[in-house]
């Protein structure tokens, strides 16, 4: 608008026909520049529209490719949840059972200790056997505990590996598209 005002001022204040002629030439140049600018804006709008359409297709493609992966991951997590819960419950029962056995062994050892005071060398051999039983029970408990822990860790590592793989795949997929750069 300020351009039109400036042109009108020039035309109204022109003292000669020559100045009006120059003013008309400059008005024509300005009009031509405005037309070129308008064409540029239209070209950018068309390019932006095409880019948005392409971006929308890319988003749809990305959605179509990642949705099955996410669904499979959710299904796997739903499938593993009861198994992990079952392992946890079994571990809890194992802990209670082991504690009961240790308590029972404590009572037995107390009785054996009284017997040791009353009996001769033959009873000491029996005490050594009881000690071996306790050691074996503790080792067995430790072995069972480690087995259960490995039973929990391995599926969790697999899930974490799967999630890391999905993440790496998504990052690779996203990095290959021009809008990610």
The residue among 16 and 132 whose pLDDT is bigger is: 132
Instruction: Report how far residue 116's alpha carbon sits from residue 108's, in angstroms, rounded to the nearest whole number.
Output: 12
**The model scores a pTM over 0.75:** no
Q: 165 to each of 62, 91, 158, 171, 172, how far by Cα in Å? A: 16, 30, 10, 10, 10
Q: What's the pLDDT band for 8 if we cut at 50, 70, 90?
A: low
Instruction: Report how far residue 40's alpha carbon sits from residue 44's, in angstroms, rounded to the nearest whole number.
Output: 6
Residue numbers of the domain that contains 21: 2-180
pLDDT at site 49 = 95
Q: What is the pLDDT of residues 141-157, one digit of tens each?
A: 888 878 877 877 788 78
Instruction: Report how far residue 169's alpha carbon sits from residue 37's, in angstroms, rounded to the nearest whole number.
Output: 44
Q: What is the pLDDT of residues 63-76, one digit of tens each?
A: 888 888 888 888 88
Q: What's the pLDDT band for 132 if we cut at 50, 70, 90?
A: confident
Q: What's the pLDDT band for 5 if we cut at 50, 70, 90?
A: low
pLDDT at site 17 = 60
101: exposed, middle or buried (C-beta count within 10 Å: 0-12, 13-18, 19+)? middle
Say if CB 137 and CB 105 are below 8 A apart: yes
pLDDT at site 10 = 59
Over 70: is that where the pLDDT of 100 sits?
A: yes
Q: Considering its fold, how many domains does the chain have in total?
A: 1
To which residue do tokens 């009785």 refer?
Answer: 111
The residue among 180 and 49 whose pLDDT is bigger is: 49
Q: What is the DSSP letter of 176?
A: T
Instruction: Report how far residue 30's alpha carbon sits from residue 126's, in angstroms, rounded to the nearest whole number.
Output: 114
């Amino acid at each position: 608008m300020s351009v039109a005002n400036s042109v009108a001022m020039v035309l109204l204040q022109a003292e000669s026909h020559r100045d009006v002629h120059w003013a008309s030439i400059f008005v024509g140049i300005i009009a031509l520049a405005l037309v070129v600018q308008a064409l540029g804006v239209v070209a950018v709008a068309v390019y932006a529209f095409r880019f948005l359409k392409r971006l929308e297709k890319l988003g749809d493609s990305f959605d179509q490719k990642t949705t099955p992966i996410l669904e499979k991951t959710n299904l796997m997590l739903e499938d593993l949840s009861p198994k992990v819960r079952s392992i946890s419950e079994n571990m809890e029962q194992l802990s209670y059972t082991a504690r009961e056995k240790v308590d029972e062994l404590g009572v037995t050892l107390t009785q054996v200790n009284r017997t040791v005071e009353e009996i001769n060398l033959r009873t000491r051999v029996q005490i050594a056997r009881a000690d071996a039983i306790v050691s074996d029970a503790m080792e067995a408990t430790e072995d069972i505990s480690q087995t259960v822990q490995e039973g929990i860790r391995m599926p969790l590592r697999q899930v974490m590996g799967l999630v890391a793989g999905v993440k790496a795949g998504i990052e690779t997929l996203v990095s290959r598209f021009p809008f990610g750069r």
